[in-house]
């Protein structure tokens, strides 16, 4: 189920905020674990307290089939959250890189592969 399109101005501005927050999420501080169900992942997000230096984490379950997340933000607003947008972006990137690797196996010309890689990487940059 795709993430719903925003229909109102507040929904649109929330989508922008969530997309920006998802882009700021550090891949070193966000771990995705399989839950045993296809397209359903447990997301663990680490945070270091800037005063105490204490490192804590929160875990949520993101379902890419139903487009849902168990975080309080999603429960409150529905539609989308930064975890859902982040996980979806990671999956799209992984699928694109898989497709590139497959193409590289099929193509003899390494130069063409590098050119494709460069183009697709710039398209994926977010």
Contact call for residue 71 and Zn ion (CB under 5 A): yes
Interface stretch with Zn ion, choices 19-27, 34-42, 74-82, 93-101 (CB under 5 A): 74-82
Q: Report how far residue 109's alpha carbon sits from residue 114's, in angstroms, rounded to the nearest whole number.
A: 9
Contacting residue, 22, 30, 63, 74, with Zn ion by CB under 5 A: 74
Contacting residue, 25, 67, 80, 83, with Zn ion by CB under 5 A: 83
Q: 19 to each of 35, 48, 91, 95, how far by Cα in Å?
A: 24, 22, 15, 20
> In this structure, what DSSP letter does residue 80 have?
-
Contact call for residue 18 and Zn ion (CB under 5 A): no
Q: Considering only CA atoms, give the Rg of the chain.
A: 17
Q: Which residues bind Zn ion (CB under 5 A)?
A: 69, 71, 74, 81, 83
């Amino acid at each position: 189920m795709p993430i719903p399109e925003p229909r109102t101005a507040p929904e649109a501005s929330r989508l922008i905020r969530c997309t920006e927050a998802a882009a700021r999420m550090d891949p070193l501080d966000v771990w995705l674990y399989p839950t045993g169900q296809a397209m359903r992942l447990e997301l663990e997000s680490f945070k270091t307290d800037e005063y105490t230096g204490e490192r804590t984490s929160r875990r949520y379950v993101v379902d890419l089939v139903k487009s849902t997340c168990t975080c309080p933000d999603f429960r409150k607003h529905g539609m989308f959250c930064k975890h859902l947008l982040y996980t979806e972006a990671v999956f799209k990137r992984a699928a694109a890189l898989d497709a590139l690797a497959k193409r590289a196996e099929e193509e003899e010309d390494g130069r063409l592969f590098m050119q494709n890689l460069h183009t697709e990487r710039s398209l994926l940059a977010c």
